[in-house]
Amino acid sequence: MADEIILEAKGITKLYPGTRALENVDFKVRRGKVNVLIGENGAGKSTLMKIIAGVESATSGEILINGSIAHYTTPAEAISHGVGIIHQELNLFPNLNIAENIFMTRELKKNPITIDLKKQVEEAKKYLDKLQLFIDPTTLVRNLRAGQQQIVEICKVLSQKAHIIIMDEPTSSLCQAEVSILFNIINELMVSGVTVIYISHRLEEIMRIGDYITILRDGHFIAEERVKNINLQWIIEKMTGNNHILRIETDRTAGEEILRVEHLTLPKRNGGYVLKDVSFTLRRNEILGIYGLRGAGRTELLECLIGAQSSMNGSIYLGGRKVTSHDINGRIKDGFALIPEDRKNLGIFHNLSIEKNMTISSLKRFTKRTEIKKRKERTAVQDIVNQLQIKLFSPDEFITSLSGGNQQKVVIGKSLLTEPKVLLMDEPTRGIDIGAKQDVFRICNNLVGRGVGVIFVSSEMQEILAIPDRVLVLSGGCLKGEFTNETVTEEKLVLTSALDLNAKE
Amino acid sequence: MKEKKMERTAIKISAIKEYLDKGKTIIALVGVIIVFTILSPNFLTVNNLIIMSKHVAQTAILAVGMTFVVLTGGIDLSVGAICGLSGMIAGGLIYEGLVLNLFGIIIYFSIPIIILISLALGMLVGWLNGILVTRFKVAAFIATLGTMYICRGAAMLRSNGKTFPNLVGKKEFGNTSFPFLGSGTIIGIPISVWIMIVLVIIAVYVSTKTPFGRYVYAVGGNENAARLSGIKVNKVKTVVYVISGACAAMVGLIISSELVASHPATGESFEMNAIAASVLGGTSLAGGKGSVFGAIIGAFVIGFLNDGMVMVGVSSFWQTVIKGVVIILAVIFEQMQSKKAE
């Protein structure tokens, strides 16, 4: 490995309350190359990148730039060391134009108080030209496509004189053509001496663009290699470590069909598809897993089923009868229930008590004429609290007094009180501790035992291997594979979800 | 058995807690009463309390509607103008009747019908507010600012800016009972105070005991979660504006009846009193937090403060300043309390 090391993270350990995100991780970044960092969800990639970019500071360990120790604790200081980051979720102001975005907080000025708009536009144009985005710098960022916005982000870090650019999943929201453009830009950046740290789940991309690859697993450094010396098989082995989790054995066999989805298609607002021609069935006595990377259409698929996506096409049959309702209220009455992924923004009411949170979807059950019968409501809530083993002091406490796991159980309880036939769970274990995760899995199994159909969406490999009886793999809005729990392996999931990008063209 | 008992105690504890929360405004009210009782011997007399309650009733009724709107995260600036418009419509119908030039006839309605027409008009404006906010996604502040101007203008147009005087009606038209609304009493208590009491009881019931009340809080707390929970968010939001419009129309009728005259400028800046009462009562302008009962206490604080200052002889300019100071202090106090709670 002859290339010069420009940045080196040495012995990085990061502790969060309750978890160890990184343990003694080493990461070498080589000048003028694309340095790929790869690992499963929760492996610690993002944490490591946040530390290198100064967003977070390490509990222990040090960062060397050009061989000498660099101390920085904020993104601004990191930039002064030449390290810039492009986050997966772009940080642009859609209501401002390209030039204003590029020079945000570093405005070019005529005098101490007046911005030199003309000069900003000229300078912005230079950067845009360099990256071959021939577009007027006074265009509002709102009017750019995702790929173009990405390029503006790159201009922004370049204008900050960054020569080490971290790209966190830069292709997750791009179409295939935009990915090619991005790769050309990366190649040109390297010619001009810029170093790139590239994070992605998409193995094929890594093989195309990467020079060096570093693999993390469970917060540990696993391996480092030149990309030209390795193959996909090697990556997968290192990533997964052959650590197959044993699935919870159940002796159930799938029964009759509960739910059938035919040719479900969800168009994007400006052309293309979020979901394309998705068809599948869900049977009694089974948990159906849906696996896919970010942007694969997992959440949108569930939103279509719960009635939150009004522009969807296709048919849904519940218990053999075609579903005709088209709003959420109607779908809940039909027997659908959704546990949303974003608990804080879509799941809970921070201003209401645990009890009121839990019964909000099923108040009609406790209402006699016009009045909610408090006693009846309380009985139902206690029942759910016992059933889901929610740890609480009193149902009258605010829901925000609970831990994440218990909040999630309340959200699950809310769905159960509507007596669903099909429960749609979108990343139900996100942000909750391991004990609560086990509880959620147990709840899933219990529900299935009672005849409820469960669709379990997850991007956590271990979960998707252990929990569902059958797994569908989504990629780019299309169903790319189906595995039973006997045939599913980590390798297959990684390959199906990450390799089919070309197939959609 | 034991469990049930514990459960009941838990419910009681939470009820007491809730009561104490609202109690903060009650403490302010008691403070106002004590201060003015000391300063003016006539303050705490039955007569004066009745007169003041009559004044309070106007703000309180508006505050009931306003609180529903604010709880969903909205705001209703049109209530003052609706007061004016509803008074002008009722006044016009009594004073000159419904003139149908085409047929050359004039229709005089009985007072109950006129009241219903005015209330319906208030609800119609509320419904329009709701549609603007939900269907056309106009920010509540702007939508109701617009309808405020429209209603105020319409009230002016109704009489070319003139007053409809002497709304006693004529015996032969059977519309003489209008002044009763503003000056009549039942067991010594003015009708408007009775209306306030009944309305408050209904509103407290609706907001705390019915599914609709829960939905109002849920929508104000987290609109997206409410939608995903199957709540018809747009319907809830529209209904609260309709309630607010009806309350405002009621106040317009009461004022016209008290004065036995309708003036198109009636109710100017009343919306601010209603908002102030809501906020004093602990309602958060961000939505989802507060109570109807608190808002009523808030209306009493503002009303008693106003009248008390008049009795003590504080200049009206100072009254306005003091009112502003009290509102700000109350909210700062509230903020400090909720920070402590966290």
B25-67 per-position pLDDT tens digit? 788 888 889 999 999 888 888 889 999 999 999 999 999 999 9
- Distance, in Å, from the CA atom of A26 to the CA atom of A33, rounded to the nearest integer, reads 18
User: What is the model's pLDDT at position B278?
Assistant: 93
On the question of pLDDT at B7 being above 60, the answer is no
Structure tokens at B194: 């009775």
Mutation to test the A interface, candidates B202, B229, B235, most A Cβ within 10 Å: B229
Decide the pairing of beta strands A287-292 and A273-283: unpaired
The minimal CB distance from B228 to the residues A340, A351, A356 is found for A340
Structure tokens at B112: 């109950």
Domain total for chain B?
Answer: 1
Quick one: closest CA in B to A351, which residue? B221
| Of residues A494 and A303, more confidently modeled | A303
| Intrachain domains A5-240 and A257-335+420-504 with the same fold | yes
Chain B positions touching A332 (Cβ under 8 A) are: 229-230
Q: Residue B65 sits in which domain range?
A: 32-341
The answer to whether the CB atoms of A351 and B214 lie below 8 A apart is no
pLDDT band at A467 (very low <50, low <70, confident <90, very high): confident
Chain A positions touching B10 (Cβ under 8 A) are: 394, 396
- Distance, in Å, from the CA atom of B292 to the CA atom of B315, rounded to the nearest integer, reads 31
* Phi, psi (deg, nearest 5) at residue A450: -90, 5
B310 to chain A, closest Cα gap in Å = 39
For residue A419, is it left (φ>0), alpha (ψ between -120 and 50) or beta?
Answer: left
Which candidate, B78, B86, B60, B57, places its Cα nearest to that of B126?
Answer: B78
Spelled out in words, what is the top-level CATH class assigned to the domain A5-240? Answer: alpha beta
A406 to chain B, closest Cα gap in Å = 17
The owner of tokens 């450094």 is: A221
Asked if residue B205 is part of any domain, the answer here is yes
Asked if residue B333 is part of any domain, the answer here is yes
Helix then strand then coil, in percent of chain B rounded to 5, is: 75, 5, 20
CA distances from B236 to A333, B9, B130 (A): 18, 33, 9
pLDDT digits (tens, 9 = 90+) for A426-461: 988 877 766 777 888 888 888 998 889 999 998 777
In the CATH scheme, what is the code of domain A257-335+420-504?
3.40.50.300
B15 to chain A, closest Cα gap in Å = 9
Asked if residue B253 is part of any domain, the answer here is yes
User: What is the model's pLDDT at position A249?
Assistant: 62
Which candidate, A97, A123, A128, places its Cα nearest to that of A109?
Answer: A123
Mutation to test the B interface, candidates A309, A326, A351, most B Cβ within 10 Å: A351
CA distances from B141 to A321, B69, B133, B147, B266 (A): 45, 11, 9, 10, 21
Q: What is the DSSP letter of A27?
A: E
Chain B positions touching A415 (Cβ under 8 A) are: none
pLDDT band at B146 (very low <50, low <70, confident <90, very high): very high
pLDDT digits (tens, 9 = 90+) for B244-300: 999 999 999 999 999 999 999 999 989 999 999 999 888 888 899 999 999 999 999
The answer to whether the CB atoms of B217 and A352 lie below 8 A apart is yes
pLDDT digits (tens, 9 = 90+) for A408-420: 999 999 999 999 9
| Of residues A203 and A280, more confidently modeled | A280
User: What is the model's pLDDT at position A197?
Assistant: 93
For the ranges A483-487, B115-119, B149-153, the lowest mean pLDDT is seen at: A483-487
Q: Are B288 and B220 in contact (CB under 8 A)?
A: yes
Domain boundaries, chain A: 5-240, 257-335+420-504, 343-414
The answer to whether the CB atoms of A364 and B214 lie below 8 A apart is no
Q: What is the ipTM of this complex?
A: 0.85
Asked if residue B6 is part of any domain, the answer here is no
In the sheet that holds A212-217, the strands lie side by side as A83-86, A164-168, A195-199, A34-38, A212-217, A220-226
- Between chain A and chain B, the number of residue pairs with CB atoms below 8 A apart is 86
pLDDT, average across residues A51-56:
90
